[in-house]
């Protein structure tokens, strides 16, 4: 383990640490951190709703989730330009840039235009629309950064009152931002969602092989590490997994790539197998990490990984790597294990993704023997998280020690 940690420290982590200091990455990272309260509230409501489904006497709290976690893409598209411009030292434009990002996002979301007005799919404002939000936020940031260096009507600036000067300078970048969205989405009728699905559609043909299975498990985890909902891939994945589990149930099939396989053997604590990371955080020497682990534990036990993901992983390059590695190693290991007859394939269709680790495996496979692979994958995923967790813990503790040393020096100098 020490050799593995040394390899990461010498080769991979220095590069990712440098990437973490990039203003664009810092802006994305800061944006996801500011979303954490919304994510945590939504996750706690999700845990509560598991109980609500079994008791009609409890009040329905789902609207609370809808108007917190369910609006995270709207919040994100505002914060990305806001924080990127802040880190770039152009704070004067950050507010209007965030507003322009919302304008672009609302166009790209492609509402249904009726005589009564524009009808939006509410799900686009939540995690389903995160990819659109990130694209709109980054593009808006680029436009405002460019025009902050190339001010149009510069010779007229001195004639504009000081109180109106920033708004005047923002007119052109706002117009360009909205025009670009209008031109591609409304004038050319470009649909980003359908384009992504068309590009990935060939994967359906190889979904039940080791390569296709691995890719189709890895892609949602990669998107999840960027804060993008994997629901964008559902039109590609859902027909494959539905047909596969029905064949396993009714025709004695041996299809490995099913949604139930992910519930049973891979998505411990949520996408990215984050339960192992939560366990490590619970025993951290850092009070900050331990508190995050404690906050994330209950949701993780019912496979809700958003608190830990948005609290530590999303747009944090150092912690994104182990999630990607899990997205490659776990499906390959699972495919090999099942192919060798060491674990059963799921034979029961189930949407009970919230079942705790081990319980879901027994329910969908109807076999206690499935617990062996559950334990193996949990151990492997935890070992993958470990060196990156230790590096993050060491950085936080060192940062606290440096602050204490600086404070002591300041006191001694008084």
pLDDT, tens digit, 9 for 90 and up, residues 354-378: 788 888 888 888 889 889 999 999 9
Is 413 within a domain? Answer: no
**Same domain (yes/no): 215, 285:** yes
- CA-derived radius of gyration, the chain: 24
pTM of the model: 0.70
Residue 222 neighbours by CB distance under 10 Å: 18
**Same domain (yes/no): 270, 349:** yes
Say which residues have a Cβ less than 8 Å from residue 79's Cβ, sequence separation at least 6: 30, 31, 34, 35, 98, 137
**Same domain (yes/no): 175, 288:** no
Domain boundary among 176, 195, 214: 195
Is 414 within a domain? Answer: no
What pLDDT, on a 0 to 100 scale, did the predictor assign at position 332? 95
Is 411 within a domain? Answer: no
**Same domain (yes/no): 218, 326:** yes
Low-confidence stretches of the chain (pLDDT < 50) are 1, 408-414
Q: What is the domain range of residue 373?
A: 200-405
Is 115 within a domain? Answer: yes
**Same domain (yes/no): 60, 102:** yes
What pLDDT, on a 0 to 100 scale, did the predictor assign at position 45? 85
What pLDDT, on a 0 to 100 scale, did the predictor assign at position 373? 94
**Same domain (yes/no): 172, 230:** no
Instruction: Give the separation between CA 132 and CA 134, rounded to whole angstroms.
Output: 6
Domain boundary among 177, 195, 213: 195
**Same domain (yes/no): 29, 159:** yes
Q: Each residue of 91-142: pLDDT tens digit?
A: 888 999 999 999 999 998 888 888 888 898 888 888 777 778 888 999 999 9
What pLDDT, on a 0 to 100 scale, did the predictor assign at position 35? 84
Is 328 within a domain? Answer: yes
- How many domains does the chain contain in total? 2
From the list 346, 414, 325, 356, the residue with the least C-alpha distance to 4 is: 325
Is 169 within a domain? Answer: yes
In the 3-class helix/strand/coil scheme, how is 303-341 assigned residue by residue? CCCHHHHHHHHCCCHHHHHHHHHHHHHHHHHHHHHHHCC
Instruction: Give the separation between CA 65 and CA 43, rounded to whole angstroms.
Output: 8
Give helix 234-250 / helix 210-225 axis angle, nearest 10°.
130
Domain boundary among 179, 195, 211: 195
**Same domain (yes/no): 397, 354:** yes
Q: How far is CA 10 from CA 6, 16, 279, in A?
A: 6, 11, 26
**Same domain (yes/no): 179, 251:** no
**Same domain (yes/no): 99, 246:** no
Asked whether 147 and 100 are in contact (CB, 8 A), the reply is no
Is 410 within a domain? Answer: no
Is 25 within a domain? Answer: yes
**Same domain (yes/no): 267, 378:** yes
**Same domain (yes/no): 273, 293:** yes
């Amino acid at each position: 383990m020490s050799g593995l940690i040394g390899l990461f420290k010498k080769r991979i982590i220095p590069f990712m640490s440098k990437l973490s200091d990039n203003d664009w990455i810092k802006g994305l990272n800061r944006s996801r951190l500011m979303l954490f309260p919304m994510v945590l509230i939504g996750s706690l409501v999700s845990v509560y709703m598991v109980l609500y489904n079994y008791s009609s006497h409890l009040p329905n709290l789902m609207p609370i989730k809808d108007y917190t976690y369910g609006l995270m893409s709207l919040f994100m598209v505002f914060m990305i330009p806001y924080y990127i411009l802040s880190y770039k030292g152009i704070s004067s434009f950050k507010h209007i840039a965030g507003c322009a990002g919302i304008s672009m996002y609302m166009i790209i979301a492609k509402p249904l235009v009726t005589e009564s007005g524009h009808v939006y799919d509410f799900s686009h404002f939540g995690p389903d629309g995160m990819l659109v939000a990130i694209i709109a936020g980054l593009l808006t940031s680029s436009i405002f950064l460019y025009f902050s260096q190339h001010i149009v009507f510069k010779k007229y600036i001195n004639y504009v009152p000081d109180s109106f000067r920033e708004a005047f300078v923002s007119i052109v970048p706002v117009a360009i931002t909205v025009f670009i969205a209008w031109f591609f989405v409304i004038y050319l009728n470009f649909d980003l969602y359908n384009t992504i699905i068309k590009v990935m559609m060939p994967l359906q043909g190889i979904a039940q092989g080791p390569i296709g299975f691995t890719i189709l498990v890895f892609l949602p985890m990669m998107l999840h590490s960027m804060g993008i909902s994997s629901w964008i891939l559902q039109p590609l994945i859902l027909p494959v997994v539905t047909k596969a589990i029905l064949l396993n149930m009714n025709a004695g099939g041996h299809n490995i790539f099913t949604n139930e396989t992910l519930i049973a053997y891979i998505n411990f604590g949520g996408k990215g197998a984050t339960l192992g990371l939560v366990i490590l955080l619970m025993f951290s020497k850092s009070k900050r990490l331990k508190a995050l682990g404690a906050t994330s534990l209950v949701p993780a036990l019912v496979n809700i990984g958003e608190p830990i993901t948005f609290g530590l992983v999303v747009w944090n390059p150092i912690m994104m790597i182990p999630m990607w590695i899990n997205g490659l190693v776990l499906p390959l290991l699972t495919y090999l294990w099942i192919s060798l007859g060491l674990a059963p394939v799921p034979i029961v269709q189930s949407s009970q993704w919230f079942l705790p680790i081990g319980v879901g495996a027994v329910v969908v496979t109807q076999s206690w023997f499935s617990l062996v692979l559950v334990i193996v994958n949990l151990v492997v995923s935890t070992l993958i998280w470990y060196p990156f967790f230790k590096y993050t813990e060491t950085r936080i503790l060192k940062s606290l020690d440096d602050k204490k040393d600086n404070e002591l020096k300041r006191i001694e100098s008084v």
